[in-house]
Amino acid sequence: MGIAGQFINGAAGRILMVCHQPESTPHAAVVVFPALAEEMNKSRRLVWALGQQLSAHGIMTVVPDLMGTGDSTGDFVEARWQTWSEDMRATRQWIAAQGIEQQHALLVRLGACLFTEDANSFVADTNTRIAAWQPEYDGATALRQLLRMKVMSDRVTWGEKTKLADLQNTLNREPIEVGGYAFHPKLASAINAATFAWPDRTAAAQASFEWGKAPEETPTTHTRYAMDGQRFWTAVEPEVHDTLVQQTVDFFAGGVA
Q: What is the pLDDT of residues 149-164, one digit of tens each?
A: 888 877 766 667 778 8
* Distance, CA of 115 to CA of 195 (rounded, Å): 10
User: So what's the pLDDT on residue 221?
Assistant: 75
Lowest mean pLDDT among 82-96, 135-149, 189-203, 230-244: 189-203
Asked which of 57-66, 196-205, 232-241, 243-252 is least confident by mean pLDDT, the reply is 196-205
179 φ, ψ (degrees, to nearest 5):
60, 35
User: Which pLDDT does position 103 carry in this prediction?
Assistant: 94
- Cα–Cα dist 19/190, whole Å: 28
Percent of the chain topping pLDDT 70: 93
Query: Where in the chain does DSSP place strands (E)?
Result: 2-9, 14-21, 28-33, 59-65, 103-108, 129-133, 176-178, 181-183, 205-211, 223-227
How far the first Cα of the chain sits from its last, in Å, is: 26
So what's the pLDDT on residue 125? Answer: 73
Distance of CA 58 to the CA centre of its chain: 22
Q: Is 61 exposed, middle or buried (0-12, 13-18, 19+ CB in 10 A)?
A: buried
User: Which of the listed ranges 58-62, 145-149, 204-208 does the model predict with the highest average pLDDT?
Assistant: 58-62
- Is the predicted pLDDT of residue 12 greater than 70, yes or no? yes
The contacts of residue 138 (CB under 8 Å, 6+ apart) are 113, 195, 196
Spatial separation of the C-alpha atoms in residues 84 and 80, rounded to whole Å:
6
**Least confident residue range of 28-32, 207-211, 217-221:** 217-221
Q: Given a cut of 80, is residue 105 above it in pLDDT? A: yes
Q: Report d(CA 132, CA 110) in Å as an integer.
A: 10
Residue at 157: amino acid letter:
T
